[in-house]
Structure 1
Amino acid sequence: MAKRLLIFLFFSVAFLCKASGQQFVLSGRVVDEQNKPVAFVSIYIRNSTYGTTTNEEGNYQLKLNPGNYRIMYRFVGYKEQVQNVTIGNADQRVNVKLEKEVYQPRAISQRARRGQDTSAMNIMRKVIDKRQYYLNELDSYSCSVYIKGVQKLIEAPNSLMRSGVSNVLSLDSNGKGLLYQSEMLSTFTSARPNKIKEETIAQRMAGVTPAFSYSKASDLQANFYNNVFAVQGLSSRGFVSPIASYAFSYYNYRLVGTAVSGGKTISKIELLPKHKYDPVFRGHIYVVEGDWRLYSVDLMLTDDANFLNLVDTMRISQQYVPIRDSTWMPSSIEYAYSGNVFGFKFEGYYIGLYNNYKFDLKIPDDYFTGEVLHIDTAANLKPTVYWNSQRPVPLTRDEGIDSRKRDSILAIQSTNAYLDSVQRSNNQLSILPYLVFGHTIVHRNAKDTLYIHPFRESFFYNTVEGFGTNLRVRYSKTFDDFSSYSISPAVRYGFGNKLFSANVRSSYTYDLFNAGIFTFDIGSDVLDLNNVATRSLFFNTLSTLLSERNFVKYYRSKFANFGWQREVANGIRLNVGLGYSDRTQLFNTSYYTIFNNKNRDFTSNNPLAPESAPASDRSVLFPQHQALTLNVSARFTFDQPFITRPTGRVFLQSRFPVLTVNYRKAISGILGADANYDFASVTATQDRIRIGLSGYSSFKLAAGTFLSKKTLYFPDFYHFIGNQGTTFDPTDVGSFHFLPFYTYSANSTFLEAHYQHNFSGSILRRVPFVRKLKLEEIVGVNYLTERNNKNYSELYIGIQRLIFRVDYGVSFIGNQRYLQGFRIFYGIR
């Protein structure tokens, strides 16, 4: 009997313990006074850090332990509502009807000159005075983050609907459908002054890549206490916060009225931009009087006024809630957008939900290592049952149907028959893309890839080789541990000089988390005397045949090179290379041109003897020789941020310049090597330094010298990124517009400096008619001096739109004007 009683008590206690830890679901629907659903309502437990939001259909859910709760329902423009809810031993459903908030105007409204609302101005002065305090209020905090993204197609052109597009995009007969869904659960930690770290626990996404996306919580954050607010991908410029320290230069304000919520007076302030095309918001902000802090924001950006990329409108709504005492934090944020591309009308949103705030953290010294995002290895493997239990915001009916349909499709797509069919379809050769971009063949396992270089790179003409072929392919394979290797064989033959070359270049990536790579190249090739870039085979062929300008100068090399690189610590990357080469000077053998220009002749293949007659020139640039070269470099990226994925690390741009120190040594006497010199250089670069609202700057500084040069040949000179011809490549800020490819190649001490600023349209957007083109203005300067050629400089201005750019510049040698003219870029290098 005693034994049975003991067993009964044991199971009773176990049952009670289980019941006490069991959670139940509080759910319901939030509607307005017309019984229409209110989407993205902030719902949270009073005096806690736990809450949720409604979905597009107004539905919500909260998991709660048994107990008594005061549940707050709040959304911009509606009266805050409080519900007392008791959770017993069963799920509860509470539906809520929100009433429109009526903001009462002040009894006395003072008006200053120029129509300014002095009541609003006085409020905003106090808010702006407190901006810095709230910006630095917390030394550290952490929270849980849920991010959901949805993009829908709401209308499509009828002509394209009939062409099968509807099936590809899974659209209904009206051209509507869900294009994209994503969800992410993570923890986010922040500490002053600018340290962040996020750990993604689970993520899922399906559908067509949206107009723009947010891959981490820091992308979705909107801190209007900062002076400038930037939306990733939306504009190259930032936008002035309504409470920026200099906001009065951009905004007028109007006090719509006040209301009392939770015992606090809330002022509704309308934003009135002073100039239509300034980088500012439209809409309203809500301010807690007395505390002079933000209560919520409801802001709008439009393409007409703000010149947005990808979308026509963007609405940003954010709710702040009291977490403890006087500390308020965002409970949710919503980015809602819409757009129209070639008749495809779409809309979408991202919502961020913040829970479980913790303050005054004791953060270990080694916690912030530069890793801004860590994605768990199992983050993408969470099953549907996991998401159904952990998702804080319920899916809408359409989202649920689409999710189940995509799960079913995914199961079908995992079958061998389907994978074989897709492989055959995707790997079919399309002539026009192959001519320009090449052709890629991917095995169905996505681990084996063969890339065939495009036709435009496979056949060429130059004065050294005549007409020729340069056939290249690249095979790459990825293993289960995500290490990989690639092999790139190439054969090249010039019909003019009857010279055949063949080589194999290979690499093995053994450590994706530290950029660990081995490289090995062997064979022979015809190479450019300038080893940092002149013109591609394609563009040199065009300029030679059409314009009788043989800009690029070539030599022959038989080589074997070995290289290694790795991040030995975060931000410190070492590169070591050892190469042996047998070099031979080449001469012109072919002089064919389509349009014979009587005022122009081909130049010698010796860049230092340009006046020599190319047909008879045999001037010596360098004798045949061998070189054994050791190259060691260290790149320092200070405070380097990075993302850790299951497949490796992605290194992001730092806030500080990148410093590279390089040493190159030619070792003589081994394997018959002749070259004997020592070279050292240092380079500092930084790209896209944001300068407030005036766009961003980029710069490069480099200096170097030959410490010794007992035997130095032209291929080992230090070469610069010059440009000859109308087209140029501006993707490297260290490139010149007019510098000859070889004339300034340095065999002594040199210094080069480059600076460029992109105004991001802040000037041209003030010009009628021009502003609609969304052009970005660019100014820059390039400078080079070395012992043999002193004080070469360039000044240029330009305009850019996406991949298209046109510059006009002028260059000087000393005080004498050298060249000037236009340079263009249209995406093909």
Structure 2
Amino acid sequence: MKLNIFLLVLLTYAQLFSQQFVLKGKVYDKNSLQQGLAYSNIRIAGTLSGTSATVEGFYELRLTKGNYQLIVSNIGYTTDTVSVKLNSNETVNIGLTHVPVNLPEVTVLPGENPALEIIRRVITSKNDRDEKINSYVFNAYTKGIVKTTKDFSASGTSVGVGIGGGKDTSKLKITGIIENESKGYFRKPNEYKDEIIARKQSANTPSAINIFTGGRLIQNFYRDDIRFFNRPLLSPIADDAIDYYDYFIEDTLALDKKSVFKIKFEPLRKIDPGFVGTIYIADKTYNLVKLEVGLNTPANPGKIFDKINILQQFTEFENNIVMPIDYRISVEGNPLGLVKFGFELNTIFYDYQINNPLGKDIFDMTILKVKSDADKKDSLYWKSTQTIPNTEEELEAYARIDSIESKPKKFWDRFSLFSPTINIEDNISITGPLSIYSFNRVEGHTLNFGINAIQQFNKRSSLRMDLSYGFDDQKFKGEFAGIYYLGEHRTSNLTLRAFNKLTDLFSEAMRYSKLTSSLVSLIGKYDFRDYYYTKGFNAGIWSQVFPVLSFGIGYQNRTDNSAYVNTDFSIINTDKIYNSVQQIYETRINAITTNFQLDFRKFIEDGYFKRKVNQGGANFTLGGYFTFSNSSFLKSSLDFQLYRITLNGYIPTFGAARTNFNLTGFFTNGRVPFQMMYALPGNISGASQSSSFRTLRTDEVFGDNAVVLSIDNDLGDEFFRLLRLDFLIDWQVNMSVFLNAAIVETKKESRSILPFINRYGIGRNPIEFTKPFAEAGFAIGQALFPFKLEFTWKLNYFGINNFVFGLNAPIL
């Protein structure tokens, strides 16, 4: 009993000793009736901890009982040190005195802009800093604010905002909030890792979106190259910044009685993408103290943003090492006047550990990890951790959003006339108005209904069921598919699919939607697809056996039968006749399948899944899929083996340009049924799709052996910059160039069971490219509009379609 009482007293004492108190207040200008000083720097003397005030000057610290000295500073004011004895929640307002200073002398070359010599010294100081830093660890708190004119709701892992029919001129309001606490790690030369320790968000925002940590989003202006919207931008203190930016000393201010240069800058050439704004440089040390910048028009993609403001402050730690203490970005836009939005991100950094030894196990394939209990932190935890004080508007937004989300949602609240799916519950959707009806020359008028349940049972299972009925072939069709994820991070899965349906011939080569083919059939009486019936099932298991290698094995059973034209209906061109449906080789296939993927990209662990992510550099992924059909062991109708290998990825080239590529090899042994051959993805007249052969028609070229290469170099506006075509750059016209090449053949064994080919007059002698066929072209588009105009030429195998023009639009 005495021991229990002793332990109880000890635990109570420990809890009181470690209790967190709130120290808050306002940093204000003594000479202006307590006007708040935005983003003032508050440091705790003798530590690497502190915070940064809000735009109104409010600050908040979470500290244990004790005596503290707060060092409070702001550019243009005398730094003040305030002593605080903390044994309960306290409010301490701190006034700073403005200090005007005179411009010190700066030694410059005759006739030279004096700002350039300052920037040279800043660059030297930056390089010295980089040499001193080997590693660091920091804590961060991040708050993200979403602003729209209308409230939105979340479904699963996504959120949606409606677009009205007219201009959106309403006032922005806070409609979403995310908050998280994270820890970041860095080690030379380029190892980074972030861990989300705690996170919370408004009720209408999925937790899966709340992975924007300070370490991942921060743009460190001490780096030479910074990326915004996938475009590299030169830092104003990069090694070659003097040749890119124009600088002007606007003023000289003071920080702790030391001079600070206020320097304005912008790109020398108005058409070059870059930053514009102000940097604050400390005299003597030439360290970066603060920057207030935005993006110029060429760096604003599609001019969709009306405002992009970035603010970052730095402070000096031991050994004259300067580190960022906050990062704030504010964005507003209203593309075409249709959807007005805003986004704010505010991050503070504290508790730096610089050049301390780091364990070897910290850095691995995971660059961002959400701790397993990050979503379980309660209100007591958030009261004890460092945050940015909530404004009245944010508190009101939290209450309003919680109230809206707590109300039961009716079916019509989620209904949209122009949506292919309708969410009836979180993570459960059914077929929407755009998908409920379809038409083709086999089924005729068709009604479709499907239900899709994703991330069920603790996000371990997803189920899908699709049903349809064709009024002209008078057949019910159905498909059921399910997947169950295994492992802590769901890196393994079991799949099962059963089907009895009408499917597309060479469906992997088809780049157009069912809505497009339905409209073309109903209006033009031209159905560019071919179809066949298939029924059966397949099952498999897939697992990540190593961080870079995944492997799977499965079984496939399918019975394929030909389809026929069953309708002559169309709205227009009623006198035309539908082309007959391509017959297939009717057969039953039983096969074992294996597949693998080699992917060296790193992971994000979002608390449930490990997901591969691109980090902006070159990327390559190698995958393979193999099918083994056997008549004696598996009782299949045919003996054949099918091997498919794909290498794809992208390579940054210059500026914002990058090259995407795909190299596919398709090889077979034995007699391969026609419907399982490889077809080059073609196009319909007047249209084109990415990663397709623009001068070939759909299903025109196929075979049982193929090597296919597609290269697409997205140049953005870089080509026009090289040519100095300012008017095209100002219009934000983008350009890409592409090359497609292929070798396609059909072996004698497969040719022996090839059905008569009625399309394009091929007969039983399919088109073959025994030597590489090639085409090349370019596309022109505008950053804001989701379509491109494409011009393509055949480079050999001339005949029809030696030159084609097409509209490339994702909506097709």
Q: TM-score, normalised by structure 1?
A: 0.81
* Structure 1 unaligned blocks of 5 or more: 157-164, 169-173, 607-620
SS of match in other structure, 2:517: helix
SS of match in other structure, 2:103: coil
The alpha-carbon distance between structure 1 residues 181 and 519, as it changes in their structure 2 partners (threshold 3 A), is: closer
Return the match for 1:633 from 583, 588, 595.
Answer: 595
On the 8 A contact 2:20/2:384 being kept in 1, the answer is: no
Structure 1 position 785 matched with structure 2 position 743? yes
Please give the residue correspondences for 1:173-212 in structure 2 after superposition, counting only pairs within 5 Å: 177-206=173-202
Matched AA of 2:103: P
State the identity %.
Answer: 20
Matched AA of 2:54: N
The CA deviation at 1:695 is 3.1
Aligned position for 2:167: none
On the 8 A contact 2:568/2:577 being kept in 1, the answer is: no
Please give the residue correspondences for 1:651-730 in structure 2 after superposition, counting only pairs within 5 Å: 651-653=612-614, 655=617, 656-670=619-633, 672-687=635-650, 689-706=651-668, 708-709=669-670, 711-730=671-690
Counterparts of 2:10 and 2:538, CA distance in 1: 73
Counterparts of 2:116 and 2:563, CA distance in 1: 75
The CA deviation at 1:603 is 4.6
The CA deviation at 1:795 is 1.9
- The C-alpha deviation readout for 1:68-109, integer Å capped at 9, x for no partner, is 65433233x423513141426455554333345646335467
- The C-alpha deviation readout for 1:795-822, integer Å capped at 9, x for no partner, is 2222144561123222326263744333
The alpha-carbon distance between structure 1 residues 481 and 811, as it changes in their structure 2 partners (threshold 3 A), is: same
Structure 1 position 532 matched with structure 2 position 483? no
The alpha-carbon distance between structure 1 residues 439 and 726, as it changes in their structure 2 partners (threshold 3 A), is: farther
- Greater shift in the superposed pair: 182-191 or 763-772: 763-772
The alpha-carbon distance between structure 1 residues 523 and 207, as it changes in their structure 2 partners (threshold 3 A), is: closer
The CA deviation at 1:686 is 1.5
Aligned position for 1:543: 520
The CA deviation at 1:50 is 0.2
On the 8 A contact 1:149/1:181 being kept in 2, the answer is: yes
Counterparts of 2:323 and 2:808, CA distance in 1: 46
- Larger RCO (CA within 8 A; separation ≥ 6): 2
Return the match for 1:794 from 771, 775, 780.
Answer: 775
Return the match for 1:320 from 310, 314, 336.
Answer: 314
Return the match for 2:120 from 106, 125, 150.
Answer: 125
SS of match in other structure, 2:602: coil
The alpha-carbon distance between structure 1 residues 101 and 641, as it changes in their structure 2 partners (threshold 3 A), is: farther
Aligned position for 1:469: 446
Counterparts of 1:9 and 1:539, CA distance in 2: 77
Counterparts of 1:350 and 1:39, CA distance in 2: 16
* Structure 2 unaligned blocks of 5 or more: 152-160, 165-169, 746-767
Counterparts of 1:468 and 1:545, CA distance in 2: 10
Aligned position for 1:611: none
Counterparts of 2:16 and 2:539, CA distance in 1: 66
Return the match for 1:482 from 451, 459, 466.
Answer: 459
Return the match for 1:105 from 99, 103, 108.
Answer: 103
Counterparts of 2:140 and 2:594, CA distance in 1: 44
Structure 1 position 504 matched with structure 2 position 465? no
The CA deviation at 1:44 is 0.9
Aligned position for 1:219: 216
Counterparts of 2:666 and 2:136, CA distance in 1: 46
SS of match in other structure, 1:505: strand
- The C-alpha deviation readout for 1:161-210, integer Å capped at 9, x for no partner, is xxxx99x9xxxxx9574333332111122223333222222222227779
SS of match in other structure, 1:473: strand
Please give the residue correspondences for 1:236-255 in structure 2 after superposition, counting only pairs within 5 Å: 236-255=230-249
The alpha-carbon distance between structure 1 residues 91 and 555, as it changes in their structure 2 partners (threshold 3 A), is: closer
SS of match in other structure, 1:226: coil
Please give the residue correspondences for 1:413-812 in structure 2 after superposition, counting only pairs within 5 Å: 414=406, 418-419=407-408, 422-426=409-413, 429-430=415-416, 432-433=417-418, 436-442=419-425, 446=426, 449-452=428-431, 454-456=433-435, 458-462=437-441, 465=442, 467-476=444-453, 479-493=456-470, 495=472, 498=473, 500-511=475-486, 513-534=489-510, 535-588=512-565, 590=567, 595-596=572-573, 603-606=579-582, 623-645=585-607, 647-653=608-614, 655=617, 656-670=619-633, 672-687=635-650, 689-706=651-668, 708-709=669-670, 711-730=671-690, 734-748=691-705, 750-762=706-718, 774-787=732-745, 788-789=768-769, 790-798=771-779, 799-802=781-784, 804-812=786-794
Matched AA of 2:742: L
- The C-alpha deviation readout for 1:707-759, integer Å capped at 9, x for no partner, is x22x22211212333322333443xxx433233333322212x3222222223
Matched AA of 2:178: S
Aligned position for 2:750: none
The alpha-carbon distance between structure 1 residues 570 and 720, as it changes in their structure 2 partners (threshold 3 A), is: farther
Counterparts of 2:430 and 2:13, CA distance in 1: 64
On the 8 A contact 1:526/1:556 being kept in 2, the answer is: yes
The CA deviation at 1:356 is 0.9
The alpha-carbon distance between structure 1 residues 92 and 547, as it changes in their structure 2 partners (threshold 3 A), is: closer
On the 8 A contact 1:723/1:741 being kept in 2, the answer is: yes
On the 8 A contact 2:440/2:527 being kept in 1, the answer is: no
- The C-alpha deviation readout for 1:677-696, integer Å capped at 9, x for no partner, is 22323211124x44453333
Counterparts of 1:358 and 1:719, CA distance in 2: 57
On the 8 A contact 2:420/2:431 being kept in 1, the answer is: no
Counterparts of 1:406 and 1:289, CA distance in 2: 48
On the 8 A contact 1:724/1:738 being kept in 2, the answer is: no
On the 8 A contact 2:273/2:296 being kept in 1, the answer is: no
On the 8 A contact 1:46/1:70 being kept in 2, the answer is: yes
Q: TM-score, normalised by structure 2?
A: 0.83
The alpha-carbon distance between structure 1 residues 527 and 36, as it changes in their structure 2 partners (threshold 3 A), is: same
The CA deviation at 1:352 is 0.9
SS of match in other structure, 1:723: coil
The CA deviation at 1:379 is 2.7
- The C-alpha deviation readout for 1:247-286, integer Å capped at 9, x for no partner, is 2332022234555645765433221321223211111222
SS of match in other structure, 1:312: strand
On the 8 A contact 1:757/1:780 being kept in 2, the answer is: yes
Counterparts of 2:620 and 2:314, CA distance in 1: 36
Aligned position for 1:161: none
The alpha-carbon distance between structure 1 residues 487 and 308, as it changes in their structure 2 partners (threshold 3 A), is: closer
SS of match in other structure, 1:49: coil
- Greater shift in the superposed pair: 755-764 or 625-634: 755-764
Matched AA of 2:661: F
Counterparts of 1:700 and 1:17, CA distance in 2: 61
Counterparts of 1:581 and 1:276, CA distance in 2: 62
The CA deviation at 1:146 is 0.5
Matched AA of 2:515: F
Aligned position for 2:758: none
SS of match in other structure, 1:55: coil
The alpha-carbon distance between structure 1 residues 63 and 485, as it changes in their structure 2 partners (threshold 3 A), is: closer
Please give the residue correspondences for 1:27-66 in structure 2 after superposition, counting only pairs within 5 Å: 27-32=24-29, 33-34=31-32, 35-64=34-63
Matched AA of 2:712: Q
Counterparts of 1:136 and 1:746, CA distance in 2: 58
> How many equivalent pairs are there?
760
